[in-house]
């Protein structure tokens, strides 16, 4: 089986190549990738090359396939796994497999460490350890992009579950956000912040009574507010606020004012910016938990924390960067039941645009860049479909479909693109 894939050879050295996959072993599975969403973690791996902890030292001689937020169909199932999977199953993968015998030990992950499995490919071979760790997951919902976006959604699910609180006089840590509490998501309208908002607003088992979202980009705040509205939040029993802290003289004062002066039980920081971290620390309530979600590139990154409050107000900090199997399963389940992650997606493209887009990801505007690996399409903003539709009927129809969904991608748009991709030639 031949595949086309984006392979990493070294720092910023990404290449689209065609090569032949070996026959699968009895404990492996051949799969067709349909879509992958680009992630800042892949940008970091591409930027660091073999210096990255998940990338093998010999990547220059044995390149790996990049991309870890992917979905598609199983094509051929080895005998060992025929009792659990079958050809035609729609799948997603939890890349954090925590397998000690992988190419880089316990940190090995599809999309970082393997020569034959990663999201930016047409066909891949899923190795035995993925199934052994129960990290190959079937998806029963509509479309492919929701399963592809299950991985980033699982990361914010994991963050919510990782927060903890205490009771004075007890050493027991109660895991989870405070049900009916006050929550702030700072720098919260990037792709991962949007995923967090979506999850909080749709969660059934527990949710805050107050949710405040901050950022310094008014256009992104406006887009978030148009997708995840104050009115919808109110229907879910949540008082929702969007704030541009970039135009405020004293953001902490305003945030504490909105909280009624108490501060926030759960604060999530979605940007590795010192001022934002310190802002988050300053708005914590008694026994408040700050979750530093954003992963910094700088190994010397630091910020001031109020240790008086750590001691006397029981404030605490956690850091999360990914989800586990249960988080991934929860993500797939809630999307099967109707949660649509389309609000994260702002651009659509084909496999050939991946190297340039990945290497320049921090400088690209908008949210998630969704790649359909079997089509030939430049990276294109959804908001540009209408203009392109003046000359190309495919984009004209895609624009019409997206307009019916408040400017968002959808299963209908995906199905139309896959069925008519020949019009892009």
Which CATH number belongs to the domain containing residue 287 in this structure? 3.40.50.720
Q: What is the per-residue pLDDT for 48?
A: 95
Please tell me whether residues 115 and 188 are part of one structural domain. Answer: no
Pairing status of strand 182-186 against strand 210-215: parallel
Please tell me whether residues 166 and 220 are part of one structural domain. Answer: yes
Task: Dig out the tokens for 168 from the structure.
Answer: 């004075």
Domain membership flag for residue 376: yes
Please tell me whether residues 167 and 84 are part of one structural domain. Answer: no
CA distance 409 to 159: 26
Please tell me whether residues 165 and 258 are part of one structural domain. Answer: yes
Please tell me whether residues 306 and 172 are part of one structural domain. Answer: yes
Q: Find the CATH number of the domain harbouring 114.
A: 3.90.180.10
Domain membership flag for residue 339: no
Please tell me whether residues 143 and 226 are part of one structural domain. Answer: no
Domain membership flag for residue 333: no
CA distance 230 to 343: 15
Domain membership flag for residue 53: yes
Domain membership flag for residue 43: yes
Domain membership flag for residue 328: no
pLDDT in tens, 283-327: 999 999 999 998 887 889 999 999 999 999 999 999 987 788 899
Q: Where among 274, 303, 319 does a domain terminate?
A: 319
CA distance 232 to 226: 10
Q: Where among 302, 319, 336 does a domain terminate?
A: 319
Please tell me whether residues 73 and 211 are part of one structural domain. Answer: no
Query: Can you give the residue range of the structural domain that contains 303?
Result: 152-319
Of how many residues is the chain composed? 425
Is 72:33 a contact under the CB 8 Å cutoff?
A: yes
Please tell me whether residues 180 and 260 are part of one structural domain. Answer: yes
Judged on CB neighbours under 10 Å (0-12, 13-18, 19+), 359 is middle
The ranges of the chain with pLDDT < 50 are none
* Domains identified in the chain, total number: 2
Rg value, the chain, Cα: 22
Please tell me whether residues 315 and 375 are part of one structural domain. Answer: no
Q: Where among 285, 319, 353 does a domain terminate?
A: 319
Please tell me whether residues 293 and 225 are part of one structural domain. Answer: yes
Task: Dig out the tokens for 56 from the structure.
Answer: 């093998």
Is 245:214 a contact under the CB 8 Å cutoff?
A: yes
pTM of the model: 0.90
Q: Name the region of 423 (left: φ>0; alpha: ψ -120 to 50; beta: rest).
A: alpha
Please tell me whether residues 252 and 376 are part of one structural domain. Answer: no
Please tell me whether residues 41 and 144 are part of one structural domain. Answer: yes
Domain membership flag for residue 238: yes
Domain membership flag for residue 331: no
Q: What is the per-residue pLDDT for 425?
A: 65
Cα dihedral 356→357→359→365 (10° resolution): 140
């Amino acid at each position: 089986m031949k595949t086309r894939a984006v392979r990493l050879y070294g720092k910023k050295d990404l290449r689209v190549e065609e090569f032949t996959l070996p026959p699968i072993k009895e404990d492996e599975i051949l799969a067709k990738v349909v879509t992958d969403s680009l992630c800042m973690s892949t940008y970091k791996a591409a930027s660091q090359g073999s210096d990255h902890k998940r990338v093998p030292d010999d990547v220059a001689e044995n390149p790996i396939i990049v991309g870890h937020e992917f979905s598609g169909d199983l094509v051929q199932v080895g005998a060992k796994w025929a009792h659990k999977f079958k050809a035609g199953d729609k799948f997603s993968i939890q890349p954090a497999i925590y397998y000690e015998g992988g190419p880089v030990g316990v940190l090995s992950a599809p999309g970082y460490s393997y020569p034959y499995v990663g999201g930016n490919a047409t066909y891949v071979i899923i190795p035995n350890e993925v199934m052994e760790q129960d990290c190959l997951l079937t998806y029963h919902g509509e479309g492919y992009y929701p399963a592809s976006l299950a991985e980033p959604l699982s990361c914010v699910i994991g963050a919510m579950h990782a927060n903890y609180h205490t009771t004075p006089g007890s050493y027991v840590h109660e895991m989870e956000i405070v049900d009916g509490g006050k929550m702030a998501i700072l720098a919260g309208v990037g792709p991962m912040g949007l995923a967090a908002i979506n999850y909080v607003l749709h969660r059934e088992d527990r949710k805050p009574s107050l949710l405040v979202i901050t950022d310094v980009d008014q256009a992104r705040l406006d887009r978030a507010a148009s997708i995840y509205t104050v009115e919808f939040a109110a229907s879910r029993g949540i008082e929702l606020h969007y704030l541009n802290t970039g135009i405020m003289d004293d953001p902490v004062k305003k945030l504490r004012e909105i909280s009624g002066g108490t501060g926030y039980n759960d604060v999530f920081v979605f940007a590795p910016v010192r001022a934002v971290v310190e802002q988050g620390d300053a708005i914590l309530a008694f026994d408040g938990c700050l979750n530093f979600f954003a992963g910094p590139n700088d190994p010397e990154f630091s910020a001031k924390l109020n240790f008086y409050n750590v001691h006397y107000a029981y404030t605490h900090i956690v850091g999360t960067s990914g989800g586990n199997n249960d988080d991934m399963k929860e993500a797939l389940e809630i999307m099967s039941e109707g949660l649509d992650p389309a609000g994260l997606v702002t651009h659509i493209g084909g496999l050939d645009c991946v190297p340039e887009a990945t290497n320049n990801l921090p400088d690209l505007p908008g949210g998630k860049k969704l790649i359909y690996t079997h089509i030939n399409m430049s990276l294109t903003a959804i908001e540009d479909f209408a203009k392109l539709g003046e000359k190309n009927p495919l984009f004209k129809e895609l624009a019409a479909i997206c307009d019916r969904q408040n400017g968002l991608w959808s299963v209908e748009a995906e199905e139309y693109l896959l069925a008519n991709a020949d019009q892009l030639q």
